[in-house]
A and B are shown apart, each in its own frame.
Chain A
């Protein structure tokens, strides 16, 4: 039982490059989330998916897109990376809203 798995663990991009962060959970959770964590800012919600087939914007969605590929997988895509997107990205899942979140160990992204 791996919980929430994120890949890659580290990534360096040049401005303008694109990439997709992958996330998978094996707990049969309905809801999945993408957060970013920056020093002094805490965690901010980028996008979430309440259930398979639905996605909604969070607090900071600009510059990102998401895909809920199936119940297990929720990916985050940066189409044209910018230095402001340098951050640590966390994927999380939960049985439902208001339920405890289970987090992956994060992807550390640097955009130069």
Chain B
């Protein structure tokens, strides 16, 4: 079953604005990962945050993790049209092996 669920399902913003996506999961995790998928392409890994970390940055990306609430957020600052894509969170439970993906957030950034 899917471990992570993203919210919102779809998000439309203008260039320069910030985009925030949320992810909730169900069981204890080792780490949580965020991926991006451009239309017609495979997923690309963006950032990994470990269960003992609360915040992580990579360029314009900021990820937070709250293990007590079993939730994570991905913030994209100063968005660009090229950020238009679907974004997925993924987790492996402590008792599992492979990554389980949520259904994704579809982000549209308009010029």
Contacts and interface: CB of A to CB of B under 8 A. Distances in A.
Interface of A: 4, 31, 33, 35, 40-45, 48, 50, 56, 58-59, 90, 92, 97-98, 100-106
Instruction: List the 7 closest A-B pairs by CB distance, nearest first.
Output: A103-B42, A42-B103, A100-B45, A43-B101, A103-B43, A48-B98, A97-B97
B42 A4 contact: yes
Interface of B: 1-2, 30-31, 33, 35, 40-45, 48, 88, 90, 92, 97-104
Given A42-B2, A43-B88, A59-B1, A33 B42 contact: no
A56 B97 CA distance: 10
Contact of A50 (B30, B35, B97): B97
B85 to A, nearest CB: 13
A33 B101 contact: no
Given A45-B98, A56-B97, A101-B99, 7 more contacts: A42-B2, A45-B100, A48-B97, A58-B98, A92-B42, A98-B92, A103-B44
A33 B48 contact: no
